[in-house]
Amino acid sequence: MKGTLYIVSTPIGNLEDVTLRALRVLKEVDLIAAEDTRHSLKFLNHFSIKKPLISYWGEKEKVKSDETLQRLQDGQSVALISDAGTPGISDPGTLLIRKAIEKGISVVPVPGPSAVITALSLSGFSTDEFAFIGFLPVKHMQRRKMLERLSLEQRTLVFYEAPHRILDTIADFAEIMGDRNSVVIKELTKFYEEVLRGTVSDVLGRLEQSTIAGEYVIVLEGRPETETLNMDDALAEVRELMRKGLGRKDSVKRIASAYGLSKKELYDQSLDSN
């Protein structure tokens, strides 16, 4: 009989956020697959959990996933954890989960802390619809191109960012996304948690005067709804997106969707205006 793979969420900072179910599962499984065993040992020792550990971090993920998968096929139960939060959400773990599903192994979620949901809940922005982007590309130009694609998005946007890139990323927001409302949370749920609210330019100014350290979550308000553009304005926006490197079809699709225009009519007009 095959074992069970448990996807166990662990605290993103404050250890009191762990669930009773997560602790029970971690104490009952045969093996714990951890992103970084050195980090996870601190958490496990705090709750007096003594179980065999296997690391699947970085280059080890493929090899260790196969080893863990064999344990599961031999009937052992495995708890998959990341350094913080939910495995597979901007963290390793997806490879093992996918392989377990392909092999017909039972995969059971043990939900708990998640930085994206925690940040959304305190943002005060609309949560009816939102888009989780996670970490933006490291390279400057790739990051800017992605932000240009997201600039018309009316849903609330959630990003993760590293301390050494936070200032550059917020500066790109100000230039590309406009000076919309934002919330930047530093060290979420931890002792030095800090929440900065305001327009993008305001938050950037405060960050430039503060100590940059720890992990950041950014929640950006979606592009405000505007009145329907006339065709000349819409065509100007299409041309601007194309100038930035987006294809005609995608540019038309984004502008038409954002402002309630006919995609066909806008596309035909864009051809005639060249």
Given 79, 113, 147, the domain boundary residue is: 113
Q: CB 10: neighbour CB atoms within 10 A?
A: 27
pLDDT exceeds 80 at position 225: no
Given 67, 90, 113, the domain boundary residue is: 113
Q: Give the lowest-confidence range in 30-34, 195-199, 223-227, 268-272.
A: 223-227
Note whether 20 and 54 are same-domain residues: yes
- The pLDDT of residue 265 is 82
Note whether 120 and 103 are same-domain residues: no
Note whether 109 and 134 are same-domain residues: no
CA distance 88 to 74: 24
Kindly report, residue by residue over 95-114, the tens digit of the pLDDT: 999 999 999 999 999 999 99
pLDDT exceeds 80 at position 227: no
Q: Residue 269 in 3-state DSSP?
A: helix
- The single-letter code of the amino acid at 163 is P
- The pLDDT of residue 72 is 96
For 6-66, the DSSP string reads: EEE-B-SS-GGG--HHHHHHHHHSSEEEES-HHHHHHHHHHTT----EEE--GGGHHHHHH
Q: Which is more confident, 1 or 206?
A: 206
Q: Is 226 part of a structural domain of the chain?
A: no
CATH code of the domain covering residue 198: 3.30.950.10
Q: Is 28 part of a structural domain of the chain?
A: yes
The length of the chain in residues reads: 274
Q: Is 166 part of a structural domain of the chain?
A: yes
Q: Which residues contact 206 (CB under 8 A, 6 or more apart)?
A: 196, 198
Note whether 107 and 139 are same-domain residues: no
pLDDT exceeds 70 at position 228: no
State the total domains in the chain.
3
- The single-letter code of the amino acid at 142 is Q
pTM: 0.80
Note whether 139 and 235 are same-domain residues: no
CA distance 100 to 5: 8
Given 93, 113, 133, the domain boundary residue is: 113
Note whether 172 and 261 are same-domain residues: no
181 has which bridge partners? 199
Note whether 51 and 106 are same-domain residues: yes
Containing H/E element for 181?
strand 181-186
- The pLDDT of residue 229 is 59
Q: CB 157: neighbour CB atoms within 10 A?
A: 23
Q: Is 96 part of a structural domain of the chain?
A: yes
> What is the extent of the structural domain holding 137?
116-220
Average pLDDT on 214-232 reads: 81
Kindly report, residue by residue over 73-100, the tens digit of the pLDDT: 999 999 999 999 999 998 889 999 999 9
- The pLDDT of residue 226 is 59
Q: Residue 215 in 3-state DSSP?
A: coil
Whole-number mean pLDDT of the chain?
91
Kindly report, residue by residue over 34-62, the tens digit of the pLDDT: 999 999 999 999 999 999 999 987 777 88
CATH code of the domain covering residue 21: 3.40.1010.10
pLDDT exceeds 90 at position 139: yes
184 has which bridge partners? 196, 218
pLDDT exceeds 80 at position 260: no
